[in-house]
Amino acid sequence: MTEIRTIGVIGLGAMGGGIAQLAVEAGYDTIGREVSGELAEAAAGRIGHFLTRKVEKGQLEQADRDVAVARLTTTTELDALAGCDLVIEAIVEELEPKRVLFAELDGICRADAILATNTSALSVTEIAAATARPERVVGMHFFNPAPLMPLVEVVQAELTSPETVESAAAVGARLGKEVVRCHDTPGFVVNRILIPLLNDCLRVLDEARVTPEALDSAMKNGAGWPMGPCTLVDLVGIDVHVHASEALHAQLGEPRMAPPERLVEMQREGKLGRKSGQGFYSY
Ligand SMILES: NC(=O)c1ccc[n+]([C@@H]2O[C@H](COP(=O)([O-])OP(=O)(O)OC[C@H]3O[C@@H](n4cnc5c(N)ncnc54)[C@H](O)[C@@H]3O)[C@@H](O)[C@H]2O)c1
């Protein structure tokens, strides 16, 4: 197994920020890459803030918080990730930008470094094919919010080596996650089931003419869901859910996988959920 000491995280949004937080807490030297210094600093500030909250709640010692924060550096330069043993990508859920990035990383990172994608529903095999090291490319699919959700799916693409899978699984375990290994099928395990189900829920909004509050109440109180579907899609991000639905639909073709028109409109209007301040609910 490859020994992982330094982790690069690309894209410090909802997912990458959470993954970087997990990495510094677990003792990895971590380099986060964003597209601008402003976004990188804001993400580092959020991670510091979340760790301070853990100290206030008695979940973390102040000294451990400070050491963890010091393990994080941020950059806008991809070259700064040259020394990483593992790079986890968490940028926009679109195939081409991910393939371009993986091709660049392939030229920058050591030949034995592992490149992982946090994609929700794109083909890890297609992303890996943009590199000359597909045996060192793997899916590491975390859930939102990454510091709190216990699962990581470790996805073996067509050419991923068993050793790469085991190295990624070992990192997942050290980050405190329950690891489920699976093969590279559209949506892997959870999203193959959850995305069409959430789309069904959102179509029911119009069919049954209920409000988001009523739908959320129905699924919480009638189906025992911990969180209603509208609240969940707001948390995921309307854009992320639309892209993941499109990816699943393109690969498997089931009509219920296509994003509901209402969501596509919300995306067009910039109502992206929690991150934009407005989705099914206002934040
Ligand atoms: N939101 C979720 O619930 C969720 C859950 C699991 C997986 N994912 C997946 O994680 C990935 C990221 O999703 P997110 O919700 O964090 O999105 P997000 O929009 O919150 O964050 C994406 C970040 O990536 C940055 N970025 C874009 N291109 C970049 C590049 N080339 N280099 C560096 N940074 C770049 C953007 O500036 C942005 O800050 C997607 O593939 C998504 O499908 C999302």
Report the separation in Å between the CA atom of 10 and the middle of ligand 1, taken as the mean of its atom positions: 8
Entry pTM: 0.94
* H/E run at residue 72: strand 72-75
CB 12 within 8 Å of CB 32 = yes
- Give 251-256 contacts, CB < 8 A, sequence gap 24+: 251/121, 251/123, 251/186, 252/186, 252/187, 254/196, 256/196, 256/199, 256/200, 256/203
Reduced to 3 states (helix: H, G, I; strand: E, B; else coil), residue 88 is strand
The tens digit of pLDDT for each residue in 42-54 reads 999 999 999 999 9
User: Is the CB of residue 10 less than 8 Å from the CB of residue 87?
Assistant: yes
Question: For ligand 1, atom 36, which residue shows the shortest CA distance?
Answer: 11
Atom 34 of ligand 1, residue of closest alpha carbon: 11
Q: Ligand 1 in contact with 92 (CB < 6 A)? A: yes
Three-class SS state of 98: helix
Å from CA of 89 to ligand 1 middle: 8
pLDDT digits (tens, 9 = 90+) for 119-153: 998 999 999 999 999 999 999 999 999 999 999 99
- Binned at pLDDT 50, 70 and 90, residue 32 comes out as very high
Token pair for residue 230? Answer: 């509208």
Active site residues: 120, 141, 153, 191
Sheet holding 114-117, edge to edge: 72-75, 29-33, 6-10, 86-89, 114-117, 137-142, 151-156, 178-183
Which pLDDT tens digit goes with each residue over 179-237? 999 999 999 999 999 999 999 999 999 999 999 999 999 999 999 999 999 999 999 99
Query: Where does the chain have alpha helices with state H?
Result: 14-25, 37-56, 62-70, 95-108, 124-128, 162-174, 190-207, 212-223, 229-236, 238-252, 261-268
Residue 209 amino acid letter:
R
| 74 ligand 1 Cβ < 6 A | no
CA distance 71 to 123: 32
For the Cβ of 202 lying below 6 angstroms from any atom of ligand 1, the answer is no
Cα(119) to centroid of ligand 1, in Å? 9
The mean predicted confidence, pLDDT, of the chain is 97
Ligand 1 atom 19: the closest Cα is on which residue? 13
Q: Is the CB of 191 under 6 A from ligand 1?
A: no
Give yes or no for residue 1 having a pLDDT over 90: no
Nearest Cα residue to atom 6 of ligand 1: 143
**Does residue 248's CB lie within 6 angstroms of at least one atom of ligand 1?**
no
Distance 11 CA to ligand 1 centre (A): 6
Sign of the alpha-carbon dihedral angle for 43, 45, 46, 51: positive
Query: From the CB of 267, is ligand 1 less than 6 Å away?
Result: no
Task: Give the model's pLDDT for residue 56.
Answer: 97
135 by Cβ neighbours in 10 Å (0-12 / 13-18 / 19+) ranks as middle
